[in-house]
């Protein structure tokens, strides 16, 4: 085996290990600590730069009242009574006790001053970007690719809604513990033990009680088993083997699946008690499925060209085109088939595409909660799959054509700068309620929701 082949094998291109409960080698550490620390510092600085404008933002009359300004339990700070309330309440049609406790801590520190609440969000977002970088570096060994994905995550304009909106603290906390779960899982896979597995369960529990969107996390662990951990491979020649291995990997995660099921039931009860679950008479099943198929591609469009962005997307339930829905569904199947076809050469494409489809599933509208068609805050974690697939595919392509390396590097820098500039501008849209909903009306004049809030 050549030196280049050995290096590629050590950096995420090794042969699959379809066993469960045995040590799985991960890429060796080839980077100096100061280099990793420098990249983490840069990630922190660029995140702070892009979101510097939030220091002048106010609370918005769009859930911030329910979560902070008019919530007497939150304003008690962290006490035995308020913590008990956090774990037993369905307030705001959700069950996320850790999120409530986070808001309590902020109120104790900052009171009604919005700057502190916003800066906490920015700090959590920067921490998420750093944790994502460390996770990808740990499981793949690629520092440049991992950094590029982390920069996209930190600076992507569609993520502004999750960061600049105080009430979306739950997105940030959920992502933090989501990445912590993946990192703990990779550590567990390197040398399985019950103590390491307990850490996986603990981190996952924190993600669930931050935001129930984490219910899909066990499925993303299975994706991690496929790539980059390579604990399973899909090959017609070894179908019996990979089916058996897949079953063992699912059994390995049985406690996590049970936790997801329990969280799903609690979340449904919470949302139904808050009156946010829409019945099938108002939104028939065919409307929901059609909107889901179309929305997947609307999310892709937003990722490719994040302009214009807005805080509210109307549901076209009475004007949905069946033809557009059918074409969208066919396109989803074709892309899925293409990713499956190249899974041996480009496993990260199948990984990234399934991550995108799967993590969006709880909020894609099959169970319709609220009356929006889609929302930018829902992209905070799902876009990560597309970022990974695009960055890895681009880098592998550049390796085939070395002369294009400089052009690719310049393009990457240009994309990062453009994202930072757009994000900085989008932060100002969330300055206050009037600015936010006036912007929604500018983008889409139909105005029941924004006019109600402006009124």
pLDDT on residue 408:
94
Q: Which two tokens stand for residue 298?
A: 């609307």
Residue 6 has pLDDT above 70, yes or no: no
pLDDT on residue 236:
64
Neighbouring C-beta atoms of residue 322, cutoff 10 Å: 9
Report the phi/psi class of residue 37: left, alpha or beta, with left for phi > 0 and alpha for psi in -120 to 50: alpha
pLDDT on residue 12:
42
Instruction: Return the higher-pLDDT residue of 253 and 278.
Output: 253
pLDDT in tens, 333-387: 999 999 999 999 999 999 999 999 999 999 999 988 878 889 999 999 999 999 9
pLDDT on residue 243:
80
- Residues 190/24, Cβ–Cβ less than 8 Å: yes
Q: What is the mean pLDDT of residues 53-79?
A: 95
- Indicate the burial class of 331 (C-beta count within 10 angstroms; 0-12, 13-18, 19 or more): middle
pLDDT on residue 10:
41
Place 1 in a pLDDT band, splitting at 50, 70 and 90: very low
Contacts of residue 375, Cβ cutoff 8 Å, sequence gap at least 6: 161, 312, 313, 363
CA dist., res. 353 & res. 369, Å (int): 24
Place 22 in a pLDDT band, splitting at 50, 70 and 90: low
pLDDT on residue 31:
76
pLDDT on residue 450:
80
Residue 423 has pLDDT above 80, yes or no: yes
CA dist., res. 314 & res. 448, Å (int): 10
pLDDT on residue 319:
83
CA dist., res. 446 & res. 101, Å (int): 37
pLDDT in tens, 205-231: 999 999 999 999 999 999 999 999 998
The mean of the pLDDT values for the chain is 91
pTM: 0.93
331 three-class SS: helix
**Look-up of token digits 């550490």:** 29
CA dist., res. 287 & res. 279, Å (int): 12
Residue 11 has pLDDT above 50, yes or no: no
pLDDT in tens, 282-331: 889 999 999 999 999 999 999 999 999 989 898 887 788 999 999 999 99
Q: List, as one string, the DSSP characters of 28-92.
A: PP-S-HHHHHHHHHHHHHHHHHHTGGGGG----TTTHIIIIIT-TTGGG-S-HHHHHHHHH--GG
246 three-class SS: helix
Place 242 in a pLDDT band, splitting at 50, 70 and 90: confident
Place 7 in a pLDDT band, splitting at 50, 70 and 90: very low
Residue 16 has pLDDT above 60, yes or no: no
Place 24 in a pLDDT band, splitting at 50, 70 and 90: low
pLDDT on residue 21:
55
Q: Could you tell me which of 360, 355, 431, 363 has the C-alpha nearest to residue 387?
A: 355
Contacts of residue 414, Cβ cutoff 8 Å, sequence gap at least 6: none
CA dist., res. 166 & res. 65, Å (int): 10
pLDDT on residue 171:
97
Place 18 in a pLDDT band, splitting at 50, 70 and 90: very low
CA dist., res. 394 & res. 215, Å (int): 31
Residue 15 has pLDDT above 90, yes or no: no
Q: Which two tokens stand for residue 206?
A: 């924190």
Residue 23 has pLDDT above 70, yes or no: no
Residue 131 has pLDDT above 60, yes or no: yes
């Amino acid at each position: 085996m050549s030196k280049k082949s050995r290096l590629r094998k050590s950096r995420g291109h090794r042969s699959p290990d379809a066993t469960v409960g045995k040590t799985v080698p991960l890429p060796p550490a080839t980077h100096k600590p100061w280099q990793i620390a420098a990249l983490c510092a840069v990630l922190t600085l660029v995140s702070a730069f892009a979101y510097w404008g939030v220091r002048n933002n106010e609370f918005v009359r769009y859930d911030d009242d329910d979560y902070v300004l008019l919530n007497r339990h939150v304003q008690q700070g962290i006490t035995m009574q308020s913590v008990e309330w956090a774990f037993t309440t369905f307030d705001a049609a959700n069950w996320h006790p850790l999120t409530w406790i986070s808001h309590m801590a902020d109120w104790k520190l900052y009171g009604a001053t919005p700057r502190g609440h916003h800066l906490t969000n920015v700090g959590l977002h920067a921490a998420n970007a750093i944790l994502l970088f460390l996770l990808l570096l740990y499981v793949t060994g690629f520092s440049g690719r991992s950094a590029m994905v982390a920069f996209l995550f930190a600076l992507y304009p569609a993520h502004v809604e999750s960061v600049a909106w105080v009430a979306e603290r739950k997105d940030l906390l959920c992502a933090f513990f989501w990445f912590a779960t993946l990192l703990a899982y990779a550590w567990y896979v390197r040398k399985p033990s019950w103590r390491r597995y307990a850490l996986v369960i603990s981190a996952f529990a924190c993600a669930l009680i931050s935001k129930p969107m984490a219910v899909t996390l066990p499925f993303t662990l299975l994706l991690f088993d496929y790539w980059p951990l390579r604990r399973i491979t899909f090959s017609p020649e070894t179908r019996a083997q990979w089916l058996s291995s897949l079953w063992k990997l699912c059994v390995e995660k049985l406690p996590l699946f049970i936790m997801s099921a329990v969280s799903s039931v609690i979340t449904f009860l919470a949302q139904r008690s808050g009156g946010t679950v829409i019945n099938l008479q108002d939104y028939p099943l065919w409307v929901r499925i059609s909107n889901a198929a179309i929305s997947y591609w609307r999310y892709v469009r937003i990722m490719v060209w994040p302009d214009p962005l807005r805080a509210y997307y109307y549901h076209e339930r009475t004007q949905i085109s069946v033809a557009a829905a059918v074409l969208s569904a066919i396109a989803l199947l074709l892309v899925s088939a293409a990713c499956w076809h190249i899974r041996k050469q480009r496993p990260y494409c199948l990984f990234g595409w399934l991550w995108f489809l799967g993590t969006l599933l709880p909020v894609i509208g099959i169970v319709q909660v609220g009356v929006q068609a889609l929302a930018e805050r829902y992209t905070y974690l799902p876009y990560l799959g597309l970022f990974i697939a695009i960055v890895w595919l681009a880098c592998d392509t550049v390796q085939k054509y070395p002369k294009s390396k400089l052009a690719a590097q310049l393009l990457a820098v240009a994309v990062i700068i453009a994202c930072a500039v757009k994000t900085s501008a989008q932060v100002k849209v969330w300055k206050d309620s009037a600015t936010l909903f006036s912007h929604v009306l500018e983008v889409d004049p139909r105005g029941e929701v924004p006019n109600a809030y402006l009124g």
